[in-house]
Amino acid sequence: MKTGNSAEELIEVKNLTKVYQSPRGDVLALEDVSFSVKKGEFICIVGRSGCGKSTLLNVISGLIPETSGEIRIAGKLLKGPQPNIGIVFQFPVLFPWRTVIKNIMLPLEVLKLGKKYYEKIPELVKLVGLSGFENKYPHELSGGMQQRVSICMALIHDPLLLLMDEPFGALDALTRYEMNFELLRIWHETKKTILFITHNVEEAVFLADRVLVMTPRPGKIAKEIVIDLPRPRRLEHREEKKFSEYILDIHKLLGLG
C-alpha cells in the first residue's frame, strides 16, 4: 500500500547530515536536513554563502556521499550520480574544444543514449534560446549565453530533476532577470522539477513555489515559505506587497534586521 503522497514526491531527504573530514578538523556542513519536493515543483534554497547550500546540492546529485540520513529520488535510494538528474553549476562548465552543439551532445555520448535524443536537440536549442549559436565555441559567447548552453546540457538527456547551484550568480543584474524569465519559461514547457540554489532572496521569491531558508553552522533548514504568487510570474509581481513581505520575512530569518 502506498502512502498518500509518496507517489508524487520526487525528492525525499530525511535526517541528512554531512561532515567534511579535513586535516584541520571536522566541519559539520549539514545537520539533520529533511524536506521533500513534489514532481513539477520549483523549489529555491536560500542562505548566506558558506551555509551548506552547495554541499546539499552535491549530496543530492550523488557527487559526494552523505554522512548519515537518506535521500530518495523517485522513490529510489540514492547511491552515486544518476542519469535522471541534470546539474547546472554556478559557472558554466563547457568544454572549450567543443562547439555549442557538440557540448550539448556530450551527455548523450557519455550516457550512450540513442538517436531519439539527438533528434530532440534542435527543439531544445530553440527552447533555451541558442538558435544560431550552434557552431560557436564557448569563448565566443557571453556569460549568459554560456549558461544557456549549460542548461541545455542539463536537460538534453531528459532528466526528471534539474539541480541548479547559483546558476545566475555570476551574471549582471539585467541578464539575471532575463535568465529568470527564460528559466521559468523552460520550466513551464518542460515540466521538470527544479531545485534552485541562490543567495539572492528576491530571485528565490520570484522563481519559487516554496523557498527553503537555510541557516549556517551547522547548515540547517530554518523555515519553509510557500510563495503564494500567481503563475506565470511577471515583472509586476515584484511590486506587490506580498512580494516584499516574503523578502522581509526571509531577511529576518537570515538574521538581518
Ligand X SMILES: Nc1ncnc2c1ncn2[C@@H]1O[C@H](COP(=O)(O)OP(=O)(O)O)[C@@H](O)[C@H]1O
Instruction: State the residues that interact with ligand X by CB under 6 A.
Output: 20, 22, 27, 29, 47, 49-55
251: nearest Cα among 185, 201, 181, 176: 201
Identify residues 176-235 at the interface with Mg ion (CB under 5 A).
Answer: none
| Cβ(157)–Cβ(111) below 8 Å | yes
**Smallest separation, CB 33 to Mg ion (Å):** 15
Residues 51-90 as x/- pattern, contact with Mg ion by CB under 5 A: ---x------------------------------------
CA quadruple 151, 138, 144, 45: dihedral positive or negative?
A: positive
Determine which residue in the list 91, 118, 177, 181 makes contact with other proteins, applying CB under 8 A. 91
Q: Is 96 in the site for other proteins (CB under 8 A)?
A: yes
For other proteins, give the closer residue by CB, 117 or 177: 117
- H or E stretch at 244: helix 241-253
Q: What DSSP designation does 219 have? A: B
Q: Is 89 in the site for other proteins (CB under 8 A)?
A: yes
Alpha-carbon distance of 61 to 58, in angstroms, equals 5
Alpha-carbon distance of 11 to 82, in angstroms, equals 13
Residue 109 touches which of other proteins, ligand X, Mg ion, none (Cβ within 5-8 Å per kind): other proteins
